[in-house]
Amino acid sequence: MHITHGETGWIEVVCGPMFSGKSEELIRRLRRAQIARQPLQIFKPRIDDRYDATKIVSHSSQTIEATIVSTSQEIAEAIRSDTRVVGIDEVQFFDKGIVELCERLAGRGIRVIVAGLDQDYTGAPFEPMPQLMTVAEYVTKALAICARCGAPAGRSQRLIGGDTRVVAVGAAESYEARCRRCHVPRIEATTGELFDDKK
Ligand code: ADP
Ligand code: ZN
């Protein structure tokens, strides 16, 4: 990042679909800050307990220690006075207060790096990501490779039917990365078969 500063903070957003390397990129940026001995704190939401609970784990098995929290308020209360860098993974699972918190931290001179899904499994904006992208200084949109055709993939396909909750945490077998042509926003509820009205 090219801002040199005294006490200026900023917000970096890494967004994209599942398997696009958001966690890898977050871990890469945080690791560099660690190596530079910048005091940092890393958080992830409690809702995401797919993998090792106190670590961020990428699909390519890179890991970094993180503190599990349930709300943006918990992050606010955990921030130490000397912290210079704050990383948050799966930020789309936090309450709306996360936007104000990131702004407040950046306002205090902290580098805030967040990663999260910009779209839910139907392709709709995943709140509060749009707000975070708006107030961020840097937005990186990561893309995966479409599991069907190999095109750049910006969407997450849910492969299991019968569950229409926006927040349904699942591992790799429940989702795959798809391009806009191959993505099917709706899933037939009873059989679990993909309901494809584009065919
Ligand atoms: P995200 O946090 O965006 O879900 P991760 O950083 O956890 O992504 O994982 C990215 C890794 O996922 C890639 O390096 C690759 O090893 C793996 N992967 C699995 N499926 C795909 C795909 N369809 N396209 C790209 N990478 C994939
Ligand atoms: Zn495709």
What is the C-alpha R_g of the chain?
Answer: 17
With vertex at residue 34, the alpha carbon angle to CA 32 and CA 38, rounded to the nearest 5 degrees, is: 105
The count of domains in the chain is 1
Q: Could you tell me the pLDDT band of residue 162, with boundaries at 50, 70 and 90?
A: low
Kindly state whether residue 95 falls inside one of the protein's structural domains.
Answer: yes
Kindly state whether residue 52 falls inside one of the protein's structural domains.
Answer: yes
Kindly state whether residue 119 falls inside one of the protein's structural domains.
Answer: yes
DSSP, res 33 = H
Kindly state whether residue 1 falls inside one of the protein's structural domains.
Answer: no
Q: How far is CA 22 from CA 109, 113, 140, 167, in A?
A: 24, 11, 9, 18
Q: Could you tell me the pLDDT band of residue 192, with boundaries at 50, 70 and 90?
A: very low
- The domain containing residue 93 runs over which residues? 10-142
Please identify, by atom number, the ligand 1 atom nearest to the C-alpha of residue 147.
23
Kindly state whether residue 77 falls inside one of the protein's structural domains.
Answer: yes
Partners of 63 in the β-ladder: 57
Any residues with CB less than 8 A from the CB of 88 and at least 6 apart, and which? 42, 43, 44, 75, 94, 98, 102, 112, 113, 114, 115
What ligand is nearest to the CA atom of residue 56?
1
- For a ligand 1 pocket test, name from 30, 59, 159 the mutation site with the most ligand atoms within 8 angstroms of its C-beta: 59
Quick check: 92 pLDDT over 60? yes
Residue nearest to atom 27 of ligand 1 (CA): 19
Domain harbouring 86, CATH code? 3.40.50.300
Quick check: 42 pLDDT over 60? yes
Site residues for ligand 1, CB cut-off 6 Å: 16, 18-24, 58-60, 144-145, 147, 177
Distance CA 28, CA 62 (A): 9
Average pLDDT over all residues of the chain: 88
Residue nearest to atom 23 of ligand 1 (CA): 145
Mean pLDDT value of segment 94-119: 98
Quick check: 139 pLDDT over 90? yes
Kindly state whether residue 73 falls inside one of the protein's structural domains.
Answer: yes
Mean pLDDT value of segment 23-50: 92
Kindly state whether residue 42 falls inside one of the protein's structural domains.
Answer: yes
Kindly state whether residue 197 falls inside one of the protein's structural domains.
Answer: no
